[in-house]
Structure 1
Amino acid sequence: MKLQTAIILPVLRKIKNLYHWLAALLANVWYGWPSRQLKMVGVTGTDGKTTTVTLIDHILTAAGYQSGFISTVEAKIGRQKIAASLHTTTPGPWQLQKLIKLAANQGLAYLVLEVSSHGLDQHRLAGINFAVGVLTNVTHEHLDYHQTYENYLQAKAKLFQESKIAILNKDDQSFRRLNSQLITRNSRTGKLVTYGIKKAADFTPKSFPFTTKLPGEYNQYNCLAAVAVCSRLGIDQKTIRKAVAEFAGVQGRLEEVKAGQPFRVFVDFAHTPNGLRQVLRAARPMVAKGGQLIVVFGSAGRRDVSKRPLMGQAAGQLADKVILTADDSRDEPTAQIIEQIARGCPRARRIPDRREAMTTALRLARKGDVVLLCGKGHERSLTLGKQEVPWDEKQITAAIWRKISQDVVS
C-alpha cells in the first residue's frame, strides 16, 4: 500500500499541477495578461512574508506611487481593501488574475504579491513576470506537501526564474544553494541583491541604518528585505527611512490586545517552529523583572506533523509557561495533535478547548507578565472537525478578560 501511494501520489500531483498551469494560462488570456501592465513584486519564504509585503506597499505609497498588495491577511487594490476569505497565501489562478486586472484597471504602478511554495509548485502564478523577487527565509514547514526540505526550497526557487532582480537573505541557510543556482542557471534573473544582519551583504543595518516600531530581530530582517526591494526600485533613502519608521505593523502579527488587564497580551500568527521561536524571543524583553512569559498555541490538523514536537521544543526553551490547545484541528483529534507537540515540551499544560486555554492563561498572568496567543493571528475562523466556527482572537481575548474582571469584582 505504501509503495502504491508513493507511486500514485506524485502522478496525481503532476496531473493537478497541469490543471493549475492550464487554468493560469486561460486566466491570463481571459483577463488580457494584466500583470504586463504594472510592475510586480513577489515575496516568498516561510515566515515574514505578510509583514514584508505590507511594508513594501507602505514605502511605495509613501513615495507617491499607486500601489497595492495581495497577502494572507487581505488584498489592497488602490484604496479598496478585500479581506482574505481562505486559509491560503496565494489565491487560485482565476481569482489572482482577476485581482491583478483590477489593479491594472485602477492604474496601479506596482502590485506586491505574497507568494507561497504551494502556489509556485502548482503553477498558480504562471504567466507573471516579476520586476523583483525576494526571499525572507526557508525553514521547517509544509513537509506534508513537499516531503523534503530540498523540494520545499526548490519550490521557493521557482520565483526567481521569472524575476529580473533576485533579493536573498544572506544569513539564511537557503542562501548558498539559491545563490549557486542563480549564478549557474540560465534564468531571467539579471541581478542578485543580498541583505542580512550577521554577514556582509548589500543591505545591512550598518550600510542602511533605519528605525522601526516593530520588535524582534526577525522584523529587522523583514525591514531589510523591504528596504532592499524599494531601493532597487529607485525609491530614495530618506523616503524609505521615514516610511519604515512610521510603519505600525500588520494585523495579527504580534498585535497587542488592550482590554484593561495589568499585563501585556499579544496575538500572533506564528505557526512554524522558527516563527514561534522568533516571536517568543521578541516578547521576552517585554517581560518585567520577575515576570513570566506565557504562550498558548496548537498546530493545524492534516498538515505537517513533523514540525509539532519542534514547536513544543521552541516553546519549552523560551517560555516560562506553555499551554497547548486547538488550532484548526480539522478532522484530526486535537488531543492527538497536542500530545505530538508535547513530545518537545513534556511540562506543557494540555487544554484542548482554545477559549478555555486562553482563559487559563489570562487567569495565570500577573502584572509584568506577557501572554502570547499564537497560531490564529488575523484569521476569522477556527476549524474543528467539519465545522468552521467564527473566531476573532482579539475580540475573544477582550471578552474573556472582561468576564474575569467581573468575576473578581463580584
Structure 2
Amino acid sequence: MMISFRELLQALPDVIAIHGDTQITAPIVESSLDVQPGGVFVARKGLTSDGHDYILQAIQAGAAAIVGERPISTLSVPYAQVADAQSAIGRLAAMYYGLPSRQLVVIGVTGTDGKTTTSTLIHSILKVATDGKAGYISTISADLGDATEDTGLHVTTPGAPRVQYFLAKMLQNGLTHCVLEMTSHGLAQGRLSGVDIDVAVITNLTHEHLDYHGTFENYRAAKGIMFEMLRKSYRKPNINKTSVVNMDDPNASYYAAFPADQLIQYGFDTSADVRCLHADYRPDGTYLTVQLPDSRMETCVLNLVGAFNVSNALAAISVGFSLGVDFDSIRQGLRAVKAIPGRMERIDEGQDFTAIVDFAHTPNALKNALEAARTMLPDGKRLIAVFGSAGLRDVEKRRMMAQTSAQLADITVLTAEDPRTEPLDDILQMMAEGCLSQGGVEGETFVRVPDRGEALYRACQMAQPGDIVIACGKGHEQSMCFGTIEYPWDDREAMRAALRGTPLMTLPTAQ
C-alpha cells in the first residue's frame, strides 16, 4: 500500500503542524521495535515510557515519517505535531488500510462480563446469516475469513494498528460483517479510534478495573466511549446506528441515553424489547422462549449453562433482530455454539466428578459461575472452587471474590493468579480475610495453596463422586505473570494433569 504522508494526516482532526512530505509504504506503528522501512512511527507518552524518546531509534529502523505531540522541526524525515497522539494511531492506521470498517457492518461489544460469549454468539448468528462472511476480533482470537490469529496472552483489545490490519484482511477476504470485542482499556487508550461501528452492545457493568480507571464513574464513562463512537461513526447505506442495552443492569439508563437511530433493550425485565419469557435448564441445553420487539414469540436452544448466558444470548438475538436476520438463522447460530474456550468448559479425564474451567475473574462473574455450577450439582454433593486474584490490579475485588465463594462454594481453594510484582502471600491474606468475614474456617471451608498446579491437584483429591471442582480466573489464557515474566500456563492442561493424579509444576511457586 502507498499513500502520501500529508494525505494520511487528513484522517486527523487535530494536526498542529506538518514539516515535509513523503510516500508511506509500510504500516503505522507505536513501538520503535515494530518499525518497517517506509512506515510511520507515532510517538506517544505511555504510563512508563515516552515514545518521543525513541524517535531517533525509529528513524534508524527506517521510519519514513514521525507523528508526535512535541513541537519538533529538526528531524531528517517529515514530522507532524498533533494534539493527541494516542487517538491518532488508530485513525492513521485506518487511513493507511483504506478505512476498512467503512466497508463492513461492525458490531462493537463491551461490558464487564460476557463480552467474549456474547461476541461469539453474535458471530455465529452472522456466519449463518451471511453464508460465512462474518469476521470476529476478540480477546481470544481473530477470525479473518481465511485464517484465525491469536490476539495476545491476556485479555484486552489488540493495539490500534493490529485492529485495522485485521479489518483490512477481512475486507480483502470478502467478509461483510465484523464483531469486535471492546475492552474498557482499549476504548480509553484509543485502540479503537478509526473504527466506524454500526451496533453498540453493552452486556453489563460491575466492579472491575478500578485500579486503572480510578472510580466506577470513570469506568462507566470508558465503556460509554463506544456509544459516542456509534453516534460519530460514518453512516453506511441502509444501516441504522443501533444501541443494544441490558435492561436488567443498573446502568442501563446511562447507556440508553446515548443518541442512536434505534435502541433495543433486552433482559428478563417485563418492559424489555427482547425479553426472556421462560428458560428451561435441562442437561442437554437451555430451552428459551423469547419475545421480540414486534411482539412475536420464538423458541431457541442454547448449549451454554446459567442465567447469565441467557442474558448473553438475548444480546445476540437483539443484534440479529436489529440487522434484519431471520429468526431461523438466529436459532441456528445460537445452537451452533457448543462451547467457548475457557468459559464453563468441562474437562473430562474419566473421573467420577465434574471438573470445569471458567474465566470468571470479577466478583460478578464468579457469582454467576458458582451459581450456574450449583444448578448442576446433585443433591448432597459439594462445590469446590479454586481461584486467585491478580496483582497490581483492583485490590478491593480480592476480598469481594473471596466473600462470594465463601457464600456459594462448599470449599474454597485460594491460589495464585498473575501476582506480578506483588507478594503472593499478601494477596492470599486479603482473600483469606474475605472468607473469614463470611464465617469461613481456614483448614475446613477454605485453604490457601500458593501454587496453582498444586491447588487444582488438591481440589481434585478432595472431590468425591458427584462433586464439582471449578477453576476460575484464567480460562483460555496461556500464561501467568510472576514478577515481570510470563510463564506458560493453561488452566485446562493443569486441570487435566490434576485429574490424572499429578500436579502441573511449571510455575515459580511449584515445590
The question of a shared fold, defined as TM-score above 0.5 by the shorter chain, is answered with yes
Q: CA deviation at 1:326?
A: 0.1
Total equivalences in the alignment: 388
Secondary structure of the corresponding residue to residue 480 of structure 2: strand
Residue in 1 aligned with 2:242? 165
Which one has the largest radius of gyration? Answer: 2
- Aligned mate of 1:36, from 102, 106, 113: 102
**Among 171, 175, 195, the residue aligned to 2:252:** 175
1:210 match: secondary structure? strand
How far does the alpha carbon of each residue in 1:100-130 deviate from its partner, in whole angstroms, 9 at most, with x for none?
Answer: 1111111111010000111111121112121
1:252 corresponds in structure 2 to 342
- Alignment of 1:290 with 2:290, yes or no, is no
Alpha-carbon offset, residue 160 of structure 1: 1.1
What is the aligned partner in structure 1 of residue 24 from structure 2?
none
Residue 197 (str. 1) matches residue 268 (str. 2): yes
Once the two structures are superposed, residues 45-98 of structure 1 have per-residue CA deviations (whole angstroms, 9 ceiling, x without a partner) of 000000011111111111224011011111111141112323132111111111
Distance between the aligned counterparts of 2:346 and 2:142, measured in 1? 22
Q: C-alpha displacement at 1:238, in angstroms?
A: 1.5
For 1:325 and 1:87, locate their aligned partners in 2 and report how far apart those are by CA, in whole Å: 18
Tell me the CA shift for residue 144 of structure 1: 0.5
RMSD of aligned residue pairs (Cα, Å): 1.9
For the 8 Å contact 1:44–1:114, the answer to whether it is kept is yes
Name the SS for the 2:200 alignment partner. strand
Length-normalised TM-score, structure 1: 0.91
In structure 1, what is the equivalent of residue 413 of structure 2?
Answer: 323
State the Cα deviation string for residues 200-259 of structure 1 (Å, max 9, x = none): 211012314322111100000000000000111111012211221232121000000001
Contact 2:199–2:243 at 8 Å: present in 1 too?
Answer: yes
In 2, the alpha carbon distance for the partners of 1:18 and 1:306 equals 32
Give the Cα separation in 2 of the matches to 1:81 and 1:325.
Answer: 33
**Greater relative contact order (CA < 8 Å, ≥ 6 in sequence):** 1
Q: Which of 278, 285, 298 is the equivalent residue of 2:368?
A: 278
Task: Give, in whole Å, the separation in 2 of the partners of 1:122 and 1:396.
Answer: 34
Structure 2 residue ranges without an equivalent (≥5): 1-46, 51-68, 70-81, 231-240, 278-290, 292-297, 441-445, 504-511
Cα deviation per residue 1:117-156 (whole Å; 9 max; x = unaligned)?
1111112111212110100000000000111111111111
1:140-151 to structure 2, matched below 5 A, reads 140-151=207-218
TM-score, normalised with respect to structure 2: 0.73
Q: Which whole-Å CA distance do the structure 1 matches of 2:368 and 2:168 have between them? A: 36
Change (3 A) 1:404 1:28: closer
> Percent of counterpart pairs with the same letter?
44
Aligned with residue 496 of structure 2, among 389, 393, 398: 398
Aligned equivalents of 1:56, 1:178: Cα separation in 2: 20
Tell me the residue number matched to 2:56.
none
Structure 1 residue corresponding to 2:451, chosen from 349, 353, 357? 353
For residue 193 of structure 2, the aligned residue among 109, 113, 126 is: 126
Of 112, 115, 128, the residue aligned with 1:49 is 115
Are 2:84 and 1:18 equivalent residues in the alignment? Answer: yes
> Unaligned stretches of 5+ in structure 1?
1-8, 406-410
Q: Tell me the distance in 2 between the aligned counterparts of 1:146 and 1:358.
A: 32
Native 8 Å contact 1:213 1:245 kept in 2: yes
Greater share of residues in strand:
2
2:204 corresponds, among 108, 114, 137, to 137
Q: After TM superposition, give the deviation of residue 404 of structure 1 in Å.
A: 5.6
Whether contact under 8 Å (1:39, 1:109) holds in the other structure is yes
Deviation at 1:387, TM superposition (A): 2.5
Give the conservation status (yes or no) of the 8 Å contact 1:17–1:121: no
The match for 2:59 is none
Q: Which residue of 1 aligns with 2:483?
A: 385
2 CA distance for matches of 1:111 and 1:34? 11
Paired with 1:262 and 1:79, the residues of 2 have a C-alpha distance of 41
Q: Given residue 101 of structure 1, which amino acid in structure 2 is its aligned partner?
A: A
Q: 2:153 aligns with which of 73, 81, 86?
A: 86
Counterpart of 2:242 in structure 1: which amino acid? I
SS in 2 for 1:403: coil
Query: For the residues of structure 1 that align with 2:454 and 2:314, how far apart are their CA atoms?
Result: 39
Question: Residues 227 and 255 of structure 2 are in contact (CA less than 8 Å); yes or no, is this contact kept in structure 1?
Answer: no
The runs of at least 4 aligned residues of structure 1 exceeding 6 Å deviation read none
2: CA distance, partners of 1:218 / 1:380: 25
Deviations 1:284-328, CA, capped at 9 Å, x for gaps: 021111110000000111111111111111111110000100001
SS of the residue corresponding to residue 343 of structure 1 reads helix
Matched AA of 1:350: R
1:327-342 alignment runs, 5 A limit = 327-342=417-432
Letter in 2 for 1:403: G
Distance 1:124 1:288 in 2: 46
